[in-house]
Structure 1
Amino acid sequence: MRPRPTPSLVLPLLAAILALAPCVARAGAGSAVLRDGDLVAPCGDSLTEQKHYTVFMETYLLACQPAANLRTMQFGMNGDTTWGFLSRLRKNTAPFAPDVATVLFGMNDGGYLPPGRLGDRAERYRESLRGIVGEFRAAGAREIIIASPTLVDPATFKRGDPVEYNQTLDLLAAIAREVAEREGARFADVHGAMKRVMEKAKAAKGAAYEVGGDDGVHPGANGHLVITHTLLKALGCDGRIGTLTWDCAARRAEATPGHRVLSVTDGTLEIESTRHPFCFIAAPPNKPPASRTILDVLPFNEELNSLILVVKNAPAPRMRVSWGEWSRVYTAGELARGVNLAADFLDNPFCESFARLTAAVREKQDYETDAVKIILSSLGTWEKYFPEEQASSALRREKVVKKSVEQQAAVRAALQPVRHTLQLESVRENGVMSRQN
């Protein structure tokens, strides 16, 4: 790992630990933003501390693998502002030496005030964003992504006039774009994406459909999927999980890296995959809208979740594809062009493994919230009243970093290969099925 200008006692320990961590190479890995082994740091206020979009992001980066051996640590704190985060960044975030940071603030920066009553808040937001970019660069971060704030949901927002506060957030979104352009950082238009998706969702599902959550501010899983989509796109993720090509006439199949063909026999294709599609876990009834409920107005699968099956020389005009327990009928032409299994089979053989990985990521991020909000944030007070204990304070930071690295390795180990089976059957005109031989 290249050296970073981080605190002197923390960096040697971090470098030593990471040198022992396994590095999994993959052919063709990498993107315009992410590089193999990067540590990605989502930073923000209570929307980040909610651990919805951050869990989605980390699980995606682990399972879908836009680059190899990616790591994530989230730095979310409820009620936070850009200026609050800036005051702590050097001691609370820089010691972890992130390669890439995403910065999502604004909801609290606006103070829930209409544009005419913002006072100096807009300028303070601008200057704090600039300061955050500078601090991250001083800490060695290669890429900083500034995200515009979300917006409030008019159906549920009760802390003021939703139209007026969205105008305030419009103003802050424009400032975020301006700072990104001025400072040479990347920009993620979360605000614009939330606005477009919210309008489409309410037009299709009714004005009462919640995108901004039951308080109008904190989205449910559906709104957080919009944030995730926008940030992953800003991270350069292209969504190419893999392609499986099956030639029925030749009884032969091949797969792109991350997938291995185990057997092709009697209309059955068996594959082992170390690279997984993103899965959408269904929510229980009477709960906030699940992430999958917004897929009809959000192109997540089309742009970020492409596991393609191509079937050549299908022996019948219509074919039934069974993937594990689930099946769907396609035309031979559709199969020859390629169908997206991840989009067409929301329930699929990866869901169980994906749910276990998601649970492991959430448990890790629960620790990160305590580490950032309680352990690291208290060290400033400790140093204020006991300046002679600086070495003890530095040792505590080292312990927090060490545990974080250990947890990142444990979560990566939770991602196990999945064996799955595809079957092809001809659909005859009289409705009779016949497996391909």
Structure 2
Amino acid sequence: MTRTLRLLPLVFVLPVSARELPPLPADLSAYVLTEAPEPAGLLLKKGDRVAICGDSITEQKLYSVLMETYLTACLPELDITCRQYGWSGEQAAGFLGRLESDVLRFKPTIATTCYGMNDFRYVPYDDNIAAEYRKNQTAVVDAFKKIDCRVVLGSPGIIDSVPQWVKSAKGTQQDLNLSLSRFRNIDVEISKAGGVSFADVYRPMLFANYEAKKKYGQDFRVSGKDGVHPLWAGHVVMAYGFLKGMGIGGDLGSVTYDEATGKAEAANGHEALSAANGEIKLRSTRIPFSPGPGVTDKDDSIRAGMALVPFDDDLNRFTFTLKSPKSANYTLTWGEQSHTYTAKQLEAGINLAKDFDNNPFVPAFKKIQDAVTKKQAYETRQIKELAHGPEGKADIDGTFAVTEKARAPLEQAVLDAKQPVEHVITISAAP
């Protein structure tokens, strides 16, 4: 059944250029955040091998799955492959100890890191602890740079409550978040000094948490129910920070229909197969970020995270534009949904990926995400249980040789899930 929504008085269409997070509100004036360096264009290159590194938040395999799914579905022409290396409880020093064996042996060309949450030890800011963190984070950057691996140095996020399960935790929630903000600033300094990219995880999480509590109440926790480990909404915000840190522009394609000529054109990963009587048939090799419908008021929802930051505006633009309109209003149907727009809105361009949450890309996107999830689950087992288990202690090289054979079909399944999608957009005059 077609679901129709009239959007005429409600839709404000941003220009194709991205929208940044607004300044922090006055309520958060205690948080002094160093200006983050902007990526100098797209950091990614064709054939990149991405290492996603971090502590237990990375080992949750949520933001890492979202990142890899995005890179696979939205930028398939780059043929990027990923591995995740999350390890619960890890600090930057611990990662240094296993960096060469677990990560560098696979010769990554780009690495993302997310440390600081354990490094700050859940106490108010301490100069000695911070100095240790700076030393170890700098050493991590240097180790990657030594093999010509580009780095996206991620900041820690925030906490939503003092974790009672950390026996050594001291101070208030604000004390700890202020400490984390200063660790975030240290990462900014390291990225500038080392000439590497920076992924701001802290600022969008701080902003999203503030906005979510104001809108949905105190039960909405961007940093998770235990105060530290986010659910889906928080991980979307984290993935947003890392993808932005990679310099991704977010233009995932366009469709233009000229009503005067009845012709359609598509670009940037999309091909117009035919156009007749307002029915446009398309073939897409790029699949915009399409997790399907979901609520925006629950912290375990992907859609909630996408609504808390300008995810669609910055990273997920699939634009439809109408030329030479003959009517004042139009109904656009894509898949099972229909929306009504003014001619002016369509002439300016509307973001299909943002307005149509149940679009024809959803099944294809889910297939890729499911394959990525299975692969990353094995990567945790490969590293933590086998390489660092009895098998690895007996023969580390042999263990990796065997486990790579087990991992190979899982990686192939991700590659095989990248399939073109044929779909139809219909436009008709509306009252």
Structure-1-length-normalised TM-score: 0.84
1:190–1:230 Cα contact (<8 Å) kept: yes
The counterpart of 1:43, out of the listed 36, 53, 61, is 53
Deviation track 1:275-333 (CA, whole Å, cap 9, x = no partner) reads 01101344699974302123333100000000000111222100000001100000011
| Match status 1:202 vs 2:213 | yes
Equivalent in the alignment of 1:120:
128
Equivalent in the alignment of 2:151:
144
1:31–1:67 Cα contact (<8 Å) kept: no
Deviation at 1:257, TM superposition (A): 3.2
1:201–1:294 Cα contact (<8 Å) kept: no
- Aligned length, in residue pairs: 387
Residues 285, 253 of structure 1: CA spacing in aligned structure 2 closer, same or farther, 3 A cutoff? closer
Is the partner of 1:73 in helix, strand or coil?
A: strand
Looking at structure 2, the residues matched to 67 and 327 of structure 1 have their Cα atoms a distance apart, in angstroms, of 30
Deviation at 1:396, TM superposition (A): 2.2
Structure-2-length-normalised TM-score: 0.85
| Match status 1:264 vs 2:275 | yes
The AA in structure 1 aligned to 2:129 is: R
| RMSD value, Cα | 2.2
| Match status 1:304 vs 2:315 | yes
Equivalent in the alignment of 2:223:
212
Equivalent in the alignment of 1:396:
399
Say which is worse superposed, 301-310 or 193-202, in terms of deviation. Answer: 193-202
5+ residue gaps, structure 1, are 1-29, 384-391, 429-437
The AA in structure 1 aligned to 2:418 is: L
Looking at structure 2, the residues matched to 425 and 374 of structure 1 have their Cα atoms a distance apart, in angstroms, of 57
Equivalent in the alignment of 1:61:
71
Equivalent in the alignment of 2:138:
130
2:249–2:314 Cα contact (<8 Å) kept: yes
The AA in structure 1 aligned to 2:411 is: Q
Alignment of 1:84-233 (within 5 A): 84-115=94-125, 118=126, 120-141=128-149, 143-154=150-161, 157-158=163-164, 160=169, 161-233=172-244
The counterpart of 1:291, out of the listed 298, 302, 315, is 302
Equivalent in the alignment of 1:417:
420
1:318–1:332 Cα contact (<8 Å) kept: yes
Percent of pairs identical after alignment?
35
Looking at structure 2, the residues matched to 134 and 285 of structure 1 have their Cα atoms a distance apart, in angstroms, of 40
Looking at structure 2, the residues matched to 286 and 415 of structure 1 have their Cα atoms a distance apart, in angstroms, of 31
Looking at structure 1, the residues matched to 118 and 313 of structure 2 have their Cα atoms a distance apart, in angstroms, of 33
Equivalent in the alignment of 2:91:
81
The AA in structure 2 aligned to 1:122 is: A
5+ residue gaps, structure 2, are 1-39
Deviation at 1:176, TM superposition (A): 1.3
| Match status 1:246 vs 2:257 | yes
Deviation track 1:114-163 (CA, whole Å, cap 9, x = no partner) reads 22xx473222211111111122123341x111111001014x85455211
Alignment of 1:256-405 (within 5 A): 256-282=267-293, 288-378=299-389, 382=393, 392-405=395-408
1:35–1:67 Cα contact (<8 Å) kept: no
Larger RCO (CA within 8 A; separation ≥ 6)? 2
1:248–1:313 Cα contact (<8 Å) kept: yes
Looking at structure 2, the residues matched to 196 and 213 of structure 1 have their Cα atoms a distance apart, in angstroms, of 15
Looking at structure 2, the residues matched to 181 and 289 of structure 1 have their Cα atoms a distance apart, in angstroms, of 34
The AA in structure 2 aligned to 1:60 is: Y
The AA in structure 1 aligned to 2:111 is: A
The AA in structure 1 aligned to 2:339 is: R
Looking at structure 2, the residues matched to 257 and 241 of structure 1 have their Cα atoms a distance apart, in angstroms, of 7
Looking at structure 2, the residues matched to 168 and 380 of structure 1 have their Cα atoms a distance apart, in angstroms, of 40
Residues 109, 423 of structure 1: CA spacing in aligned structure 2 closer, same or farther, 3 A cutoff? same
Deviation track 1:220-269 (CA, whole Å, cap 9, x = no partner) reads 11111111111101111111110101111101111113111111112201
1:242–1:259 Cα contact (<8 Å) kept: yes
Say which is worse superposed, 159-168 or 210-219, in terms of deviation. Answer: 159-168
Deviation track 1:372-418 (CA, whole Å, cap 9, x = no partner) reads 212222379726xxxxxxxx432322333454454323211112111
